[in-house]
Structure 1
Amino acid sequence: MSILLLDVDGTLIDSLPGIQRGFRHTLDQLDWPHPDQEFTDHIAGPPMETTLRSLGMSPAMAQEGLGIYLEYTRRGGWADATSFPGMLDLLRRWKSEGLTLATATSKGEAFARLILEREGFLEHIDFLGAAQEDGPRRHKSAVIDHVLSTNGWRVDTSDILMVGDRSHDIEGAAEHGIDTVAVAWGYGTPVEWASAARTAHTPEDLEGIVHDWLATRG
């Protein structure tokens, strides 16, 4: 079995516009000053409460902010996103080649399902691994553990490859002994990608990297 763990935000889906609007709405509701644009350009990926804590909020206020953000997302913010060009076709090819595909996203499970279904990805995904909107499974390592445990994929880690765009994808996978291919069209930086096994700059580049990975496994 060859398994690809796929991040969603910044890898399959360009969700930054909706995340930014929800983030700013949350700050306004909390009467908290907005950070600069550079900060806001890199908020997609980690759990929202982690981002809010990084602004100096207390744990209690960050949890209140998470609730505000999730309510904004439920009211339609989840739909403010589009798929990255070329990624849906790539998933179709991977499935036709017999790869097992699972998401491993810090996005809430219901929101991930909605956007992946609308954009046509869901039918090609064998298992939807996502964070809990109201529960302990929030960080990437916990999501990956959920994916592996639920499916009984406690296999040789050389059988699994993570694809993501941020440092938390790389670090979360590494906690399970899994290598990551960083994708440069997402929201990360070259500094973040430096710790990945490889970096893909286009979907075609990613397809070649996965092909090489499969070849090394025989």
Structure 2
Amino acid sequence: MWHIGAVSILLLDVDGTLVDSLPGIRAGFLHTLDEMGWDHPSEEFINRIAGPPMEITLQNVGMSPEQAREGLAIYLDYTARGGWADAQAFPGMLELVREWKATGLTVATATSKGEGFARKILDREGFLPFIDFLGAAEEDGPRRSKTAVIDHVLASNGWEDQTSDILMVGDRSHDIEGAAHFGIDTTAVTWGYGTPDEWAEARFTAHTPKELEGIVNDWLHVRHSTRG
């Protein structure tokens, strides 16, 4: 690992990148549909629901914005009553985040998961001590999209003019597109919930945590060489 002097920042997605949260998200989604009397979509659709804000997913099954807001309330209630706990760290990711912090990297999250639920999961799975800033969506507020979350992270830390010092790590197209809005490069990880077409939008692609470690090392090396 590189030991660095200049500030370098990793912006990490949570669902599908650090933790496998699909089981809980899936159960909450289906519970919401059942409560509202909606048919279940295909398993192919369900397997892609982790990542985007739930109200967007509900609109994608045909709900109006008003119905989706009603559904979001049902989903958040289910999650608060224990659905959040049905998640676990992907093998190797806690160790990698720990190494990044030991190296001197600044580590922040940028997740569309609600802040309270993200904090609970990351705390239980052991990530929280190695995260400098917990960037997340609001459960009940306007900060819901990935772009809004990243904007919140940048503004809260005064990083608006340091986007060349930031590398986003995520698994879905909204991670890549949200980061690109601010001129931030992304590494797509393939153990999450995205597709090859989504990963193709990223600058880098990692198939294993070990490969991700190498990509981050190379990124640091290029930055070090450029500034040296």
Please point out which of 46, 49, 74 is paired with 2:52: 46
Taking the aligned partners of 1:183 and 1:106, their CA distance within structure 2 comes to: 17
Q: Size of the alignment, in residue pairs?
A: 218
Q: Structure 2: any 5+ residue segments left out of the alignment?
A: 1-6
Q: What is the 5 A alignment of 1:37-76?
A: 37-76=43-82
Question: TM-score, length-normalised on structure 2?
Answer: 0.95
Specify the SS of the correspondent of 1:129: strand
Shift of 1:28: 0.1
1:23 equivalent to 2:35? Answer no
Taking the aligned partners of 1:24 and 1:194, their CA distance within structure 2 comes to: 30
Taking the aligned partners of 1:154 and 1:98, their CA distance within structure 2 comes to: 20
1:172 equivalent to 2:178? Answer yes
Q: What is the 5 A alignment of 1:186-197?
A: 186-197=192-203
Query: Who is 2:4 aligned against?
Result: none
Question: TM-score, length-normalised on structure 1?
Answer: 0.99
Q: Structure 1: any 5+ residue segments left out of the alignment?
A: none
Taking the aligned partners of 1:158 and 1:200, their CA distance within structure 2 comes to: 20
Specify the SS of the correspondent of 1:181: strand
Taking the aligned partners of 1:182 and 1:102, their CA distance within structure 2 comes to: 16
Taking the aligned partners of 2:36 and 2:151, their CA distance within structure 1 comes to: 33
| Paired amino acid for 2:199 | W
Specify the SS of the correspondent of 2:147: helix
> Percent identity between the aligned chains?
73
Query: Who is 1:82 aligned against?
Result: 88
| Paired amino acid for 1:192 | E
Shift of 1:201: 0.2
1:104 equivalent to 2:110? Answer yes
Query: Who is 2:38 aligned against?
Result: 32
Specify the SS of the correspondent of 1:35: coil
Q: Could you say what the CA RMSD is over the residues aligned between the two structures, in angstroms? A: 0.5
1:5 equivalent to 2:11? Answer yes
| Paired amino acid for 2:202 | A
